[in-house]
């Protein structure tokens, strides 16, 4: 993945003097956020299966966040309403952090904030396509998503889910479909 984000623990001495402010994404932030995602992932992101669930739609802005530092967007995470079979859930991603701000723990902070917001909003589960070693510390597992079917080719080991209690992991089964925010 070109310019993949890092969500690992901060490196010693890498923290900025002032932590970025994480706030809900606003409609007027869309262009800045899209630019940030383009810089992080490049044009190859449009070929990914998860993009089929996002294209032509807007994310749920109440569950999507932007990290701001000095008036600049330096990180973001988006969530999109989906159905897994008949169970409502959220699709998490993309997550992007400016290259010079990686290794500060900002990606981890954004992911945690998004998961907390989804839980507080009463969402049943969160689905993503990513690496279990990176997302496992947040509770995401491939086992929880083993019966989930995405609308295109994807390595099943990278399809991860997190049950938020309202939808047991055992109920996460079936095709994933986009729904309106």
pLDDT band at 181 (very low <50, low <70, confident <90, very high): low
In a domain, 9, yes or no: no
H or E segment and range at residue 35: helix 30-41
**CB-CB contact of 142 with 110 (8 Å):** no
CB 13 within 8 A of CB 103: no
CATH code: domain of residue 31 = 3.40.630.30
> In the predicted model, what is the mean pLDDT of the chain?
87
Tell me the per-residue pLDDT of 72-86, one tens digit each, with 9 for 90 and over: 999 999 999 999 999
Model confidence at 15: pLDDT above 70: no
Give the lowest-confidence range in 18-22, 82-86, 113-117.
Answer: 18-22
Distance CA 81, CA 118 (A): 10
DSSP state of 113: H
- How buried is 166 (Cβ within 10 angstroms: 0-12 exposed, 13-18 middle, 19+ buried)? middle
Task: Classify residue 113: in a domain, yes or no.
Answer: yes
pLDDT band at 170 (very low <50, low <70, confident <90, very high): confident
36 occurs within a structural domain: yes
Would you call 27 exposed, middle or buried from its count of C-beta atoms within 10 A (0-12, 13-18, 19+)?
Answer: exposed
Domain count, the chain: 1
Within-domain flag for 91: yes
Q: Is the peptide bond before 112 cis (omega within 30 degrees of 0)?
A: no
Name which of 119, 116, 74 is nearest 95 in CA terms. Answer: 74
Query: Which range marks the domain in which residue 63 is found?
Result: 21-178
Structure tokens at 148: 């989930």
- Match 């083993």 to its residue by tokens: 146
User: Which residue matches tokens 């992080």?
Assistant: 40
- For residue 13, tell me if it sits in a domain: no
The CA-to-CA distance between both ends of the chain, in Å, stands at 28
- Residue 66 inside a domain? The answer is yes
**Does residue 5 sit within a domain?**
no
pLDDT higher than 60, residue 10: no
Helices (H) and strands (E) in the chain, counts: 4, 8
Does any domain span residue 3? no
Rounded to an integer, the average pLDDT of 61-73 is 96
């Amino acid at each position: 993945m070109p310019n993949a984000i890092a969500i690992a623990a901060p490196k010693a001495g890498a923290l900025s003097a002032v932590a970025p402010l994480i706030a809900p994404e606003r409609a007027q932030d869309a262009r800045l956020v899209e630019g940030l995602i383009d810089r992080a992932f490049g044009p190859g992101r449009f070929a990914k299966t998860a993009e089929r669930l996002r294209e032509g739609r807007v994310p749920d802005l109440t569950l999507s966040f932007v990290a701001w530092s000095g008036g600049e967007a330096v990180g973001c995470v988006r969530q999109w309403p989906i159905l897994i079979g008949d169970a409502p859930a959220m699709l998490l991603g993309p997550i992007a952090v400016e290259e010079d701000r990686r290794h500060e723990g900002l990606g981890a902070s954004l992911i945690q904030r998004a998961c907390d917001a989804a839980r507080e909003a009463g969402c049943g589960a969160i689905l993503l396509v990513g690496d279990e070693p990176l997302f496992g510390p947040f509770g995401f597992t491939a086992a929880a998503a083993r019966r989930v079917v995405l609308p295109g080719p994807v390595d099943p080991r990278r399809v991860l889910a997190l049950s938020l209690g309202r939808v047991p992991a055992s109920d996460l089964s079936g095709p994933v479909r986009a729904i309106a925010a």
